[in-house]
Structure 1
Amino acid sequence: MTMEFLITTLIVVLLPGTGVIYTLAAGLTQGARASVLAAFGCTLGIVPHVAASVAGLAALLHASALAFQVIKYLGVAYLCYMAWQMWRDTGTLAISTEGSETGGTRLEPLRIITAGILLNLLNPKLTLFFLAFMPQFVDVGAANATVQMLGLAGVFMGLTFIVFALYGVLAAQARDHVISRPLVMQRVKRSFAAAFGLMGLKLALAER
């Protein structure tokens, strides 16, 4: 593992994407614990893409327009679903006022993790990314090339979890200030809904 790999990975992970948007939204609507669960779910969602890349399935996805389009539009549909839920303040990212006098939406860890997994799982660009990204830092002719790739993938996933969790926890710190201002909270929710919608549009327009 080289410093170049670490720096490149950190840059990729820091760039705003669906995972970052999701963990930020989880932190603001559900709190710090939810943001960590969201980060964990997004990280788990990377595992199938790594497995596909190592197994060579990414090449099939790249070659098959139908397979790519099917997964892509499933991802688009899910992002639109997340945007709709955020707009209506329902589902996984419904605002929780747990601990207040009026009660609120109870934190559901499994739903939060599952949503994070699906956000990354249904993005075919991730598999192609690993296919193009990982081999640059692996000696493909070496006997332990697969082990090297798995090790790099583990580092990538570890940094993903740490960065996403930090994003979410920082967002959670501002939660009390935002949630106590209904108009601000409404604008924040709609901003996140718009972000999910735009991510869906971007994925819909993506080519292999």
Structure 2
Amino acid sequence: MLDLTQVFSYSVALGIAAAVPGPGMAALVARSVSGGAISGFFLLLGLILGDLIYLSFAVFGLAMIAEHFNALFDVVRWGAALYLCYLAWQFWFANHQAIEMEKSAKKRELLSAALSGLTITLGNPKTIAFYLAILPLVIDLKGVSLQTWAVMLAPLTVLVLLSVGALFIVAAVRVRRWLSSPRAQQNLFRGAATIMVVAAASMLRH
């Protein structure tokens, strides 16, 4: 099991990493403004699932296996980068309309939001760097068992990311009325698109 120092160090490190502006939080704010809090939380669930996948990679040593399958990793990396560019293209050229505050999101839109969140996290170089490079500096992964992962690390990861993401969603929803015009949405979405392209380019540099 992890001691209190490790729990605190991991929580703080993960919280800071999550709060630093990146494609995930940019998409989260944009989605929350355009679709409301429910859409934002579904995208956040996708982001969190992606983090749990990378956490599992780090804990169970799958990162070491990945080193022996460079070709496969390159395919995944290029695929994620291209998807980020595709999302950026969608965000940049989206046809914005004035937001209907009472309009509820459709199930298809919610599933799309969750899938986008998952893919953004899997293609986010910041997330990859945290779990495969920074996390081992915070926690001794050799001493982490399946029980520790299931009882402590995974729930702690969900709690921290849910807390940070909820702050972004609440902030986005609070200013939603002021960003309800098509012009304001266009500026917001194009800003998010720019961050995604930068993240994709960062992935392909490595």
- TM-score norm. by structure 1 comes to 0.80
* RMSD across aligned positions (CA): 2.8
SS at match of 1:115: helix
Number of positions where the alignment pairs a residue of Structure 1 with one of Structure 2: 199
State the Cα distance separating 1:139 from its structure 2 match: 4.8
State the Cα distance separating 1:203 from its structure 2 match: 1.7
Cα–Cα, structure 1 residues 65 and 124, in superposed 2: closer, same or farther, change >3 Å?
farther
Q: Which residue of 2 aligns with 1:97?
A: 99
What does residue range 136-147 of structure 1 map to in structure 2 within 5 Å?
A: 136-139=137-140, 142=143, 145-147=145-147
What residue identity is the alignment partner of 1:187? N
What does residue range 104-183 of structure 1 map to in structure 2 within 5 Å?
A: 106=106, 108-123=109-124, 126-127=127-128, 129-139=130-140, 142=143, 145-150=145-150, 151-180=152-181, 182-183=182-183
1:71 equivalenced with 2:76 (yes/no): yes
Cα–Cα, structure 1 residues 96 and 168, in superposed 2: closer, same or farther, change >3 Å?
farther
Q: Distance in 1 between matches of 2:201 and 2:100?
A: 34
Q: Which residue of 2 aligns with 1:34?
A: 39
Question: Structure 2: where are the runs of 5+ without partners?
Answer: none
State the Cα distance separating 1:32 from its structure 2 match: 1.7
Taking only the aligned residue pairs, the percentage that are identical comes to: 26
State the Cα distance separating 1:164 from its structure 2 match: 1.4
State the Cα distance separating 1:14 from its structure 2 match: 1.3
Cα–Cα, structure 1 residues 58 and 170, in superposed 2: closer, same or farther, change >3 Å?
same
- TM-score norm. by structure 2 comes to 0.81
Between stretches 122-131 and 161-170, larger displacement belongs to 122-131
Over residues 140-173 of structure 1, what are the superposed CA-to-partner deviations in whole Å (9 max), with x where a residue is unaligned? 565x634334422431232112211211221121
Question: Is the contact between residue 81 and residue 204 of structure 2 (CA under 8 Å) also seen in structure 1?
Answer: yes
Cα–Cα, structure 1 residues 178 and 133, in superposed 2: closer, same or farther, change >3 Å?
same
Over residues 91-124 of structure 1, what are the superposed CA-to-partner deviations in whole Å (9 max), with x where a residue is unaligned? xxx6673457xx7985721111111111113447
Question: Structure 1: where are the runs of 5+ without partners?
Answer: none
